[in-house]
């Protein structure tokens, strides 16, 4: 078990008991909540205050980092064609501060960064935060609802396969192909800003 290893998890529609079981099976001692809005309409046991209280009772620390590492930017400059631009978001001082807090905490705790989406390939905790930590040389693994751990290295292989960029290209560096694969997947799953019509309808 590496002190520099960071895990991620998506609570999805899990009961608190099943969520806790997954944390226990991965030896998690702290949860870093990276949801921009740390509340769930349909699963209130994942509301920030309730979750923090439950985890504390079960001996697991909780910290909210949605302001630094959340996937829904408030500033329009972090959108491209109406979709959150993870690459721009990753270059902000706030994001860097959030990463530093995770890395610092990982020296003391076995951390799982939590968001709501079940599949890490459909969540910013993987495509944005996990990528940044991986690029810093940290081992990142994603806790699946089966209890299995998916290494971020395998995530990148999956992204390359999904985008069709896994074949060698004489004129494009591997790093460029991987960045394009990340960008392509993020464009499909990242938060989309509501259109003016949608805002009026609300």
Does some domain include residue 46?
A: yes
Q: What is the pTM of this model?
A: 0.92
Domain that holds residue 28: 6-152
pLDDT (0 to 100) of residue 195: 65
Q: For residue 94, how far is the Cα from the chain centroid?
A: 16
Rg over CA atoms, the chain: 17
Q: Report the alpha-carbon distance of residue 89 to residue 52 in Å, rounded.
A: 27
Q: What DSSP state is assigned to residue 192?
A: B
Q: Report the alpha-carbon distance of residue 52 to residue 2 in Å, rounded.
A: 25
Does some domain include residue 125?
A: yes
Does some domain include residue 174?
A: no
Does some domain include residue 196?
A: no
- Give the CATH number for residue 66: 3.40.1010
pLDDT (0 to 100) of residue 200: 39
All residue ranges of the chain with pLDDT < 70 are 1-3, 166-172, 195-202
Q: Report the alpha-carbon distance of residue 152 to residue 7 in Å, rounded.
A: 10
pLDDT (0 to 100) of residue 173: 84
Does some domain include residue 192?
A: no
How many independent structural domains does the chain possess? Answer: 1
Does some domain include residue 114?
A: yes
pLDDT (0 to 100) of residue 66: 98
Does some domain include residue 157?
A: no
pLDDT (0 to 100) of residue 196: 53
Q: How many residues are there in the chain?
A: 202
Q: Which H helix or E strand runs over 80?
A: strand 79-80
Closest CA to 87 of 195, 171, 193, 185: 185
pLDDT digits (tens, 9 = 90+) for 76-113: 999 999 999 999 999 999 999 999 999 999 999 999 99
Q: Report the alpha-carbon distance of residue 141 to residue 2 in Å, rounded.
A: 11
- DSSP calls for 149-171: EEEHHHHHHHHHHHHT--S--TT
Q: Using CA atoms of 151, 189, 131, 161 in order, give the dihedral in degrees to the nearest 10.
A: 60
Does some domain include residue 94?
A: yes
Q: Report the alpha-carbon distance of residue 187 to residue 80 in Å, rounded.
A: 9
């Amino acid at each position: 078990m590496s002190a520099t290893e960071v895990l991620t998890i998506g609570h999805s529609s899990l009961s608190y008991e099943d969520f806790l079981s997954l944390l226990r099976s991965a030896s998690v001692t702290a949860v870093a909540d990276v949801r921009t809005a740390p509340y769930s309409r349909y699963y209130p046991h994942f509301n920030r205050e309730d979750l923090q209280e439950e985890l504390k009772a079960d001996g697991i620390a909780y910290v909210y980092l949605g302001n630094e590492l959340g996937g829904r930017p408030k500033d329009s400059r972090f959108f491209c064609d109406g979709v959150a631009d993870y690459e721009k978001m990753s270059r902000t001082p706030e994001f860097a501060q959030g990463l530093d807090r995770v890395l610092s905490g990982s020296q003391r705790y076995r951390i799982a960064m939590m968001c709501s989406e079940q599949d890490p390939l459909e969540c910013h905790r993987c495509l944005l935060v996990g990528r940044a930590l991986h690029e810093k040389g940290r081992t990142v693994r994603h806790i699946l609802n089966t209890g299995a751990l998916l290494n971020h290295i395998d995530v990148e292989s999956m992204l390359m396969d999904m985008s069709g960029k896994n074949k060698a290209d004489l004129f494009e560096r591997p790093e460029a192909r991987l960045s394009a694969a990340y960008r392509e997947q993020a464009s499909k799953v990242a938060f989309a800003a509501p259109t003016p019509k949608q805002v009026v309808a609300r």
